[in-house]
Amino acid sequence: MASISKIITSQPTLNNLSKEQAEPSIKITKDIPVKLITTSTLQPDNVVISKESQEKIDSENEVNKEDKTEQKLTPEAEAKLAEEKEESDLDKIIQELSVKIMELSLQIEQLKNKEDTESVKERKALEVELALTKGRLEAKLKEKSDTAKLS
């Protein structure tokens, strides 16, 4: 019915090891027909969940839902969170205005050395922009101090 033939090569001994060792080779031949398993012959698994397990799963789901509802913010907490966000936005604006003032000051200092008419006009325009930026910065700092007093 089935004919199986083996061909095994000899194993090298420790004395005659070479860099490339021959792996033993096995040749198997079969005259038996093979029936392939297809998806149409497979059956789905039937899983039965006990009542206790189902109740446990349901109770865990309820606990998770309760946790999620508890995580919702109260109106006071939402107001506080919005206030903190406004403060961080205010801090960013203050920092940006401070950097702009520094840049404008440096540009004005560079233009002071030049005495041509173009440089003088540009320097005066930058001085006006610097004054406006300083005014905005002062307003934002006052706004921040007012919000700090309210808290």
Task: Classify burial at 16, counting beta carbons within 10 Å of its beta carbon; exposed 0-12, middle 13-18, buried 19 or more.
Answer: exposed
- pLDDT tens per residue across span 21-37: 555 555 555 565 555 55
Rounded (10°) CA dihedral 3, 4, 5, 6: -170
- Annotated domain spans of the chain: 77-150
Comparison of pLDDT for 87 and 42, the residue scoring more:
87
What pLDDT score was predicted for residue 133? 94
Indicate the range of 19-23, 125-129, 145-149 predicted with least confidence.
Answer: 19-23
Q: Which fold has domain 77-150?
A: Methane Monooxygenase Hydroxylase; Chain G, domain 1 (1.20.58)
- pLDDT tens per residue across span 94-110: 999 999 999 999 999 98
State the Cα–Cα distance between residues 123 and 129, nearest whole angstrom.
10
Q: Band of the pLDDT at 143, cuts 50, 70, 90?
A: confident
Whole-structure pTM value = 0.45
Q: List, in sequence order, the alpha helices (H) in 13-50.
A: none
